Each structure stands twice: as structure tokens, then as C-alpha cells.
Structure 1
Amino acid sequence: MDRRIPKKGDIYRHFKGRKYKILDIAVCTETGEEMVIFETAEGTRKVFASFLETFLSPLDVGKYPHADQKYRFELCRDVSESDILGLKRHGNTTSLILEFLDLNDNEERVQFLQKHRPEIDARFLTAAAESLEFAENAETVEERYAALIRFLKTKSRYESRRMR
């Protein structure tokens, strides 16, 4: 294999256009083959694993004659400033989630959400809702944020009445 091995933090573009951030190189427990562990660099966070050989393989031009790339995944050399900011924000979401999970009561959670409103994204809202066993049914980030606030305020009022 004459292609460069992906490194943690690299951004690769799949031949269909999506960008992925390399998380690590792992070893398959079944075959001993090296695998690339990567996640979506935009949109909903999903983590994937692919055998290194497959990840770096040439594209089947017979099957995909109109593809713009020679390989299935190619290193992005044109990552824009907004892409980098998006990835930094994605990393910041993880620390926000951890802070949120450490909070003790619902009033603290509401204050935290209000304080960090500009930093909250869909990934954070999904994690927060799941940690509270709150079933989301809103679609936009704004609607989901408002629904979570309402849920926490209702829960806080209910709990304060129960204590009396």
C-alpha cells in the first residue's frame, strides 16, 4: 500500500462528498487487520469503522464513472476555516455534555442551558434528553431546546411541590 496511513484528526472526503474526521486506527479482534475509526465531520454525529485496506482502496470507476475522486476516501487539503471551527465546536459539545451530566438538580440544568445557549447544538440536545429520559418530538434545534427547558422547569416545579 503506497498511500499515507490516516492520522488522528485528519479530515477525509468520501467519494460521495461527505467529510469525516479520523478518530484512530484500531485492530480487528477477529482478523488482526488494521481498521480506521472515523466520525462524520458535519451533521449528526455517527462513528464508523472500515478496514484500512478498504478505506484507502481505489474507487471502482466502472461502478462510479462520474466520481471526482480516484480513491474511496481522500485526504482533504482544502478544509475551510468554517470546517475547522465546526470541528472545534463539535469537540466543545463533548465538554458541555460532561458538565451538564455533573449537575445535581433541574434548576441548575435550566440555568446551565440558558448560560450556554449559543454553544448548544443538536448533539448536545440529544445527549441531554437521553440522560434525563426525556422523549423528544420537536424537529429544529430551537424547538428541541425550548422543549427541554419546559420539561426541566415542569419537573423542577413538580419536585418542589413533592417536598412540601
Structure 2
Amino acid sequence: MREEPKPGEFYRHFKNKLYQIVAVATHSETREKLVIYQALYGEYGVYARPLDMFMSEVDKEKYQDVKQKYRFDRIEDIAKISKLDDSSYSNVVEQDKRTKEESVSSESLGKKEKGNEKTYSDTDFGKGYFIEFLEADDLNTKKEILIANRELISERELDTIYEIYGLKRRKIDRDLDIADLIGYFDMQQQYEGKRLRK
């Protein structure tokens, strides 16, 4: 029998997308166990799925070409996985990156253009979206700015954000570090919402 997911663990979906476990919750009415997990790509969405479904095997009749046995496989070494050059995973990441770059204006981000290539370096520290992030009045706005510019944020800017909030950066993978920040903002928003309802 497979071991239940634990908070902080990483799993790979059979479609080659990475997720991090937030918690294993219990439904208040049915007592059914639910896995709460966060995507490590795109909008970094948070999802809930029944534990038995999360742990189930891939439907081989529907997905005949999939080699992975289970719908979600636990990842032992996330640092190694994040550096793999698997073509199907790289295509997903690259397509998501291109879509996001096309949707953001170069003027608002203070990006440098070299031909068709768009870059953002540490020499641009403190410009464009980063100033907007620092000046944003609420966590939701900060989160949106962070998500919209995740491909452009520099290592120095990430370090600065972590220092501002007194957090320790793992520095295993940039996407994971950004996902950690977004998870922190979500947690703070939930706490603030509960406090205001009292």
C-alpha cells in the first residue's frame, strides 16, 4: 500500500507537471480525506482531490502511451527533477513561458530587448514591476504581480523579497521558491480573513 502524501512533498502528475503537497485534509461533513496541493507552474493554483483518486493508477485504456504507473508519483529528489531535460516537460515549461512573455508589455516591466529576445538582468534591480510589488497595498496584488512576472524576476530580487518577509529561501529551484512565496501570501490572506471575521 502506498504511503499517504505529506505536507511539503513534491509529486509529478502523469502529464509531466509538478505539484507540492500543502496538506491532507478531512471533509467536515463526509470525513473523506482530501489532498490539498499546489501547482508549480502557471498561476500556481491550489487544488483539492480525494485521497483515493490522488493515489490511484493511471487509466491505461484512456492514456495508453503513458508509462507512469500512478496518477501522481512522489519525487524523491526535486533538485534533480527540476534540472531534467525531458522534452515533454521542457515543452510545457517553454510554452507557458512564451505565453506569459507575450501577454506582458515591455514598457510596464522595464525589460531590455535584443532582437526578439527579451531579458531582465540584475542590473535592472528595483525597476518596473519590482517597485510595483514593493508599493502594492495588499497581498493579493503582490501575488498577482509576482505570478505575472515570475519569468523575469532576478535572483537578487527574490532574495530581497524573502528578506523583507523574514523567510528562508531554499534555493533549490526558482519556481519552487516563487511557489513558496505565493503559498505564504495565501496563508497570510486566510489568517487575515479569519481575524477580520471575528
**Bigger Rg, which one:** 1
SS at match of 2:126: helix
Counterpart position of 2:26: 27
Confirm whether residue 141 of structure 1 aligns to residue 149 of structure 2: yes
Gaps of 5+ in 1: 85-112, 146-164
Deviations 1:40-68 (A, max 9, x none): 12332100000000000111111111112
SS at match of 2:78: coil
Counterpart position of 2:43: 44
Q: How many Å separate the matches in 1 of 2:10 and 2:45?
A: 15
**Equivalent residue in structure 1 for 2:141, among 116, 128, 133:** 128
Q: How many Å separate the matches in 1 of 2:81 and 2:126?
A: 25
User: One-letter code of the match for 2:126?
Assistant: Q
SS at match of 1:80: helix
User: One-letter code of the match for 1:68?
Assistant: K
Confirm whether residue 117 of structure 1 aligns to residue 125 of structure 2: no
Q: State the superposition RMSD in angstroms.
A: 3.8
User: One-letter code of the match for 2:12?
Assistant: R
Q: How far 1:77 moved relative to its partner?
A: 2.6
Gaps of 5+ in 2: 84-124, 154-198
Query: Identity percentage over the alignment?
Result: 32
SS at match of 2:73: strand
- For the structure 1 residues 35 and 117, does the alpha-carbon distance in structure 2 shift closer, same or farther, using more than 3 Å as the test? same
* TM-score, length basis structure 2: 0.43
* TM-score, length basis structure 1: 0.51
User: One-letter code of the match for 1:14?
Assistant: H
Poorly superposed stretches of 4+, deviation over 6 Å: none
